[in-house]
Chain A
């Protein structure tokens, strides 16, 4: 398959773009594989790619029940960051950031990762100290962080309500300069293409309906396209985790599925160059290359498998955007959509062997799934290949909840909808 490059583009342009070939094969399922990954989203595709690249395991199938990347990989607000507070999280997300920084080259696919930085605004002295604490935690673990003061904020975001009257006066922000945004669909397509090139079968419209067992051991999956055997089965289905694992007889997990809405405005000339978050509520906003404001806030807060949210959260998010950028009241909301978040009991993910022999589980991403995609795939591949977690994902075990080693960034306890 041809490498992508500006030359290739010119060559094809001259031949009327007739020579391009499919980005990935439309593979049909084989009877068996060394590894079957359930879930053709970002995490599943990345896992397949790193299994092939890092561990030489290429007899791999990725099973997607719908069209590839139809889940949260294509429904998020595209933010990539590693500005975490707790030691359990930082090394993992920083590893992800490093993978992001080389991803376009690695995949020979431009995922448009743009390190336009993220700024978390704070509005009270207490919040300032909290942000200092987070920033210091980042720096002490080798992550970039700096404080930004109002004059610089004003310069970089002319529309920001810095000196206007506000119940949430902006005292400053914590910036991670290396953070930014990427083109979400491109991440799925890039991983799919690169995995496919290494021999991975990507099988769309193939829904897993059950697990094939020999005693306890999981030895394959039943699918809408027949039984597929596998020495190892990795499950990376985000919001559908509970649903899929029920077919293996696992009826209770530290996971709840919740709907998170996301929003885009009409396209505007460049007016916001970084990702910015509001400390007076819960809002994150950036501007896409096409010019749309891309933003979101809290999850709706009730169990849901419907990719559709409700009005109260829409109103909250819009009001927080206007509080931050009063001029945006006259900008218009173009589209909204919903994604199903796999909310865990402490707000942190699970990447582990088990819970059944021959099964491997990757879930609990809450809001954090997109930025985690490369490291999630990388660590999950390692865990599947080596039958033990890598140091990066060792804290993300399943038994941490019961043993009391929770990683609770928001300090909310076992109430998933508050994380």
Chain B
């Protein structure tokens, strides 16, 4: 697999670090001092889609930037890559 880093361009899988479901990661609940079901499910529950999956990758072996990769988990085909926050 190769990922098209928004800054460095197309690079090998080995240069990247996986950080899991992006939509999930971006929905961090409001900081709190008490536990809540929102926090519980944010920390532990995943949609784990079969098919298109928006996921967070970091180019640790390059620019160290974070990107959201839309990838088909059934075929491994990468549909799009966007810089986080863009």
Question: When chains A and B are docked, how far (Å) is the Cα of A96 from the Cα of B2?
Answer: 41
Whether A306 pairs with B48 at a CB distance below 8 angstroms is no
* 8 A Cβ contacts from B32-86 to A: 37, 40-41, 43-50, 53, 55, 71, 73-76
Question: When chains A and B are docked, how far (Å) is the Cα of A243 from the Cα of B41?
Answer: 18
In the assembled complex, A415 has its CB within 8 A of some CB on chain B = yes
Q: Mark A295-312, 1 if CB is under 8 A from B, else 0.
A: 000000111111010111
* 8 A Cβ contacts from A210-228 to B: none
In the assembled complex, A373 has its CB within 8 A of some CB on chain B = no
Please, which residue of chain B has its CB at the minimum distance from the CB of A401? B44
In the assembled complex, B8 has its CB within 8 A of some CB on chain A = no
Chain B residues, Cβ within 8 Å of A305? 50, 73-74
Whether A303 pairs with B53 at a CB distance below 8 angstroms is yes
Interface residue SS majority, chain B:
mixed
Chain B residues, Cβ within 8 Å of A401? 40, 43-44
In the assembled complex, A254 has its CB within 8 A of some CB on chain B = yes
Question: When chains A and B are docked, how far (Å) is the Cα of A253 from the Cα of B20?
Answer: 14
Question: When chains A and B are docked, how far (Å) is the Cα of A251 from the Cα of B23?
Answer: 14
Question: When chains A and B are docked, how far (Å) is the Cα of A242 from the Cα of B13?
Answer: 26
In the assembled complex, A57 has its CB within 8 A of some CB on chain B = no
Question: When chains A and B are docked, how far (Å) is the Cα of A415 from the Cα of B43?
Answer: 9
Closest Cβ of chain B to A299, distance in Å, is: 10
**Cβ contact of A302, chosen from B12, B18, B43, B47, cutoff 8 A:** B18
Interface residues on B, range: 20 to 34
Q: Mark A396-419, 1 if CB is under 8 A from B, else 0.
A: 000001100000000000111100
Question: When chains A and B are docked, how far (Å) is the Cα of A308 from the Cα of B72?
Answer: 13
Known contacts A306-B74, A306-B75, A417-B18; decide if A252 and B50 are in contact (CB<8 Å).
no
**Cβ contact of A252, chosen from B13, B18, B47, B71, cutoff 8 A:** B47
Chain A residues, Cβ within 8 Å of B13? 310-312
Whether A251 pairs with B47 at a CB distance below 8 angstroms is yes
Chain B residues, Cβ within 8 Å of A308? 76
Whether A306 pairs with B46 at a CB distance below 8 angstroms is no
Known contacts A302-B55, A305-B50; decide if A254 and B74 are in contact (CB<8 Å).
no
Please give the number of chain A residues whose Cβ is less than 8 angstroms from any Cβ of chain B in the complex. Answer: 27
Whether B76 pairs with A256 at a CB distance below 8 angstroms is no
In the assembled complex, A257 has its CB within 8 A of some CB on chain B = yes
Q: Mark B10-24, 1 if CB is under 8 A from A, else 0.
A: 001110001011000
Whether A303 pairs with B44 at a CB distance below 8 angstroms is no
Chain A residues, Cβ within 8 Å of B18? 301-302, 417
In the assembled complex, A45 has its CB within 8 A of some CB on chain B = no
Whether A257 pairs with B75 at a CB distance below 8 angstroms is no
Question: When chains A and B are docked, how far (Å) is the Cα of A120 from the Cα of B20?
Answer: 30
Whether B73 pairs with A257 at a CB distance below 8 angstroms is yes
Question: When chains A and B are docked, how far (Å) is the Cα of A416 from the Cα of B13?
Answer: 19
Chain A residues, Cβ within 8 Å of B20? 256, 303, 415, 417
Whether A252 pairs with B74 at a CB distance below 8 angstroms is no
Closest Cβ of chain B to A348, distance in Å, is: 13
In the assembled complex, A38 has its CB within 8 A of some CB on chain B = no
Question: When chains A and B are docked, how far (Å) is the Cα of A54 from the Cα of B74?
Answer: 38
Chain B residues, Cβ within 8 Å of A414? 43-44
Question: When chains A and B are docked, how far (Å) is the Cα of A243 from the Cα of B73?
Answer: 12
In the assembled complex, B26 has its CB within 8 A of some CB on chain A = no
Known contacts A310-B1, A312-B14; decide if A304 and B76 are in contact (CB<8 Å).
yes
Closest Cβ of chain B to A107, distance in Å, is: 33
Chain A residues, Cβ within 8 Å of B44? 254, 345, 401-402, 414
Question: When chains A and B are docked, how far (Å) is the Cα of A243 from the Cα of B49?
Answer: 7
Closest Cβ of chain A to B21, distance in Å, is: 7
In the assembled complex, A170 has its CB within 8 A of some CB on chain B = no
Chain B residues, Cβ within 8 Å of A253? 45-46, 48
Would you list 15 pairs from A and B whose C-beta atoms are within 8 A, ordered by A residue? A242-B48, A242-B49, A256-B46, A257-B73, A301-B18, A302-B18, A302-B71, A303-B53, A303-B55, A306-B73, A306-B74, A310-B1, A310-B76, A311-B13, A415-B20
Nearest first, the 5 closest Cβ-Cβ pairs linking A and B are: A252-B45, A242-B48, A402-B40, A401-B44, A312-B14
